[in-house]
Amino acid sequence: MSSSHDRQQSVQSESAILVGVELPQRSYQEAPLEELAGLVETAGAAIVGKVTQKRQAPNAATYIGHGKVDDVKLLVDATEADVVVFDNDLSPAQIRNLEKAFGVKVLDRTEVILDIFSSRAQTHEARLAVELAQLEYSLPRLKGMWSHLSRMKMGVGMRGPGEKQLETDRRLAEKRISDLKRDLEKISRRREREVAGRRDRMTVSLVGYTNAGKSTLLNTLTDAHVLAEDKLFATLDTRTRRWQLPGWGPVLLSDTVGFIRDLPHELVASFKATLEEARQADLLIHVADASSPSALDQIAAVYKVLQELGIEEKDTLLALNKVDQVDDRSRLEAIRNRYPRAVAISARTGDGLPRLAAAVSDALSQDFLDLEIRFSVSNGRLLAYLAHYGEVLSRNFTGDQATVHCRIARRHLESIREDKSVEVRPYEPAAISGTVPGEHAVGEVA
């Protein structure tokens, strides 16, 4: 079988020419091909040329126009480039036609991203997710991959080697995809249990565009010492650390894989288990690179991926990072006008981090309920539950009934109400008299 890397060939130590097509529905907000250049350099290639073209629609055969094909061919010959990389997704037929015209390997944007993920995957889970994404990308392209083999007409019932190999590849790929999905589903269920087992702590998850500074922020807030490089997709695996949130207490802070514009759907699906921390978090901190000319587009791209993951309704706090690197203050003001509740910070210098901590405390507090709970004094389990997961403000015992005033996270309400004998209502200040002050359990909820 052709391996999943037949098309996701590494571009490490190769010289590359970048090609981008600006369509009416897609314009470059930054220097043309800047992001693709970052991807290709992250993959290990040296960039020796760039070509862009404006078109109303892609050419069906070659994506770019025939004249531009000739221009790229001349540039390939002049620079002795090893590969041509398109900032667009190409069909197998387009890749085949372009490789014939250029005489060198042609890759599209998705293949470069998959190649980077493949080289960066460190854990067993990440490697499985990347392999699944590569196979799902390659499967519909298998027919094109084998088109270079001739079909031999050998009579009824006899098929050429290309068609036989295609069917073998397809069966093996589909079997491997099925196995990978089963393994990742097991990991996903285990991850769900692990995350659910930490529900006694409030959880905050960092999300954002790749290279926005999430890992640097995690390091600064928690002394985590995780890898933080000035590269795209420096880390693929979720890391969770304890954050002593001022004015609140300990919370769990998680870093996640970075997103990117036009993130391949295969990767979004494959990394759902890895992003379980974000799915289950009480609050998301969306870290955006305020110094990027494309900051607004990057913010929109992250929200789009969150929507694909089904977690766009999650409470989200926008942190505008790298304000110390902003060279055009009007651009920063434009972002803040669009997102007035955003907090400007620098994870590198520490600027704005106290404001971020205060905003996180306020956001987490909004998820708490002020309740009056009545139950039998013999229900010691519930009393212990309230003391452990909430903030008990007062207790009153009358006969065989206990009345507790507490503040507790909304997510615990369902567990409390499982006992039908328990009465739960919003707290009214005049409702309890002669109470005994309780002990704070999770720190002040200001």
pLDDT digits (tens, 9 = 90+) for 157-194: 334 444 566 677 778 888 998 999 899 888 878 877 77
Instruction: Name the residue range of residue 178's domain.
Output: 121-195
Are residues 313 and 219 part of one domain?
Answer: yes
Q: What is the pLDDT at residue 73?
A: 96
Domain tally, the chain: 4
Confirm whether 40 is domain-assigned.
Answer: yes
H helices present in 49-160, as ranges: 66-79, 92-102, 109-120, 124-138, 142-145
Is beta strand 46-54 parallel, antiparallel or unpaired with respect to 15-22?
A: parallel
Closest CA to 148 of 107, 82, 99, 86: 99
Lowest mean pLDDT among 252-266, 401-415, 424-438: 424-438
For 360-397, write each residue's pLDDT tens digit. Answer: 988 888 778 888 999 998 898 898 888 877 778 888 98
Give the CATH number for residue 376.
3.30.70.240
Average pLDDT on 210-232 reads 79
| 5 domain residue, yes or no | no
Q: Where a domain ends, among 313, 344, 365?
A: 365
Range with the lowest mean pLDDT among 46-50, 99-103, 170-174, 375-379? 170-174
| pLDDT, position 52 | 92
165, 169, 171, 175 alpha-carbon torsion, rounded to 10°: 160
Question: Could you give the angle at which helices 124-138 and 161-196 cross, rounded to 10 degrees?
Answer: 140
Q: What is the CATH number of the domain that holds 65?
A: 3.40.50.11060
The pair of three-digit structure tokens given for residue 446, joined into one six-digit string: 């200001």
Last residue of a domain, one of 365, 386, 414: 365
Q: Is residue 42 in a domain?
A: yes
- Cα(139)–Cα(184) distance, integer angstroms: 19
Same domain, 213 and 286: yes
Domain annotation covers residue 151? yes
Query: In angstroms, how far is the first alpha carbon of the chain from the final one?
Result: 61
Highest mean pLDDT among 63-72, 260-269, 424-433: 63-72
- Which tens digit of pLDDT belongs to each residue from 289-331? 999 988 998 999 898 888 877 776 678 899 999 999 998 888 8
Q: What angle do CA 124, 271, 22 make, to 5 degrees?
A: 130
Q: 287: which residues sit within 8 A by CB, 6+ positions away?
A: 206, 207, 208, 209, 212, 213, 214, 217, 319, 321, 347
Q: Mark 249-259 as b/e (b = at least 16 C-beta within 10 Å).
A: bebbbbbbbbb
Q: Is the domain of 389 the same as that of 246? A: no
SS3 category, 173: helix
Distances in Å between the alpha carbon of 384 and those of 107, 416, 425, 439? 60, 12, 19, 12
Q: Is residue 7 part of a domain?
A: no
The answer, yes or no, to whether residue 425 has pLDDT greater than 70, is: yes
**pTM assigned to the model:** 0.73
**Cα distance between residue 274 and residue 187, in whole Å:** 9
In a domain, 8, yes or no: no
| 259 and 358 assigned to the same domain | yes
pLDDT at 12: 62
pLDDT at 235: 58
Verify that 34 and 108 share a domain, yes or no.
yes
Q: Given this model, what pLDDT does residue 102 score?
A: 96
CA separation for the pair 305, 303 (Å, rounded):
5
For residue 285, is it within any domain? yes
Q: Are residues 230 and 338 in the same domain?
A: yes
Amino acid at position 258, single letter: G
Domain boundary among 195, 217, 243: 195
Residues 357 and 388 in one domain: no
Nearest CA-CA partner of 266 in 361, 136, 83, 363: 136
pLDDT tens digits for 51-96? Answer: 999 999 999 999 999 999 999 999 999 999 999 999 988 988 999 9
Sheet holding 15-22, edge to edge: 46-54, 15-22, 83-86, 105-107
Q: Are residues 223 and 260 in the same domain?
A: yes
Rg (CA), the chain: 27
Distance CA(362)–CA(147), nearest Å, equals: 60
Please give the share of the chain, as a percent, with pLDDT higher than 90.
33
Indicate if 345 and 386 belong to the same structural domain. no
**Based on the domain organization, do 247 and 205 belong to the same domain?**
yes
CB 214 within 8 A of CB 206: yes
Going by pLDDT thresholds of 50, 70 and 90, the confidence category of residue 35 is confident
The mean pLDDT of the chain is: 80
442 pLDDT above the threshold of 60: no
Mark whether 150 and 186 lie in a shared domain: yes
* pLDDT at 284 (0 to 100): 93
433 vs 218: CA distance, rounded Å:
45
285 and 162 fall within a common domain: no
When pLDDT is cut at 50, 70 and 90, the band that residue 4 belongs to is very low
Q: Is residue 444, in this structure, part of any structural domain at all?
A: no
